[in-house]
Amino acid sequence: MPRRRAGDDPYSLSPAVRCDWTRFLELAERALPQGPARLEDLEKALGLVRGRPFGSRPLPWAGPYQQEMITRIIDVAHTVATHRTPAGPHHDLSAARQAIAIGLEADPSAELLYRDWMRVEHAAGNRSGLHTAITQVQQVNRSLDCDLETETEQLINDLLHGTGSPLRKAQ
């Protein structure tokens, strides 16, 4: 802590003090514009995440920070899953699943990540895993008393009834 000049000066940390969130942002902001070429940096950023930022009951001052952090975590997790799911040089369904799991720990209601999870299980030919993802997103939405997004309903229909290519529609 730097010394305060007067008794009523607020306490502040030295700019040299860093935290995992600062490192997460550095890795993510450097890697996101680079696409799949920097997937390892995005995965390193996700490796710094431990559950929901500030826990399940943040203090009032932490609310805006928590929402920003969750949004960025979901964005990074979705990006990793989007690049790791399709066949090709970056294909790694285990890495995609790991990214999705980290994102869902931060926000268990992130429907975008459930769609990613469904696409991963479909790409793996894991019908049981696909049904698990569908059941979980339905349970989450039921507990929140809200309907599935239209895009989620359409993806479920496509995956269960074989209409269209779900990987092509990943967003």
CATH number for the domain spanning 98: value is: 1.25.40
Residue 126 lies in a domain: yes
Residue 93 lies in a domain: yes
User: pLDDT tens, 37-85?
Assistant: 999 999 999 999 999 999 989 899 899 999 999 999 999 999 999 999 9
CA distance 34 to 127: 33
98: its two tokens:
């790991």
128, amino acid identity: S
Residue 35 lies in a domain: yes
Looking at residue 8, its pLDDT comes to: 76
Residue 90 lies in a domain: yes
Looking at residue 4, its pLDDT comes to: 67
Residue 80 lies in a domain: yes
Contact (CB, 8 A) for 84 and 123: no
CA distance 8 to 70: 34
Contact (CB, 8 A) for 151 and 119: no
Q: How many domains does the chain have?
A: 1
CA distance 101 to 133: 11
- CA distances (Å), origin 159, targets 125, 131, 156, 164: 11, 10, 5, 8
Q: Look up the domain containing 70 and give its range.
A: 20-55+62-161
Answer yes or no: is pLDDT of 167 > 80: no
Answer yes or no: is pLDDT of 139 > 90: yes
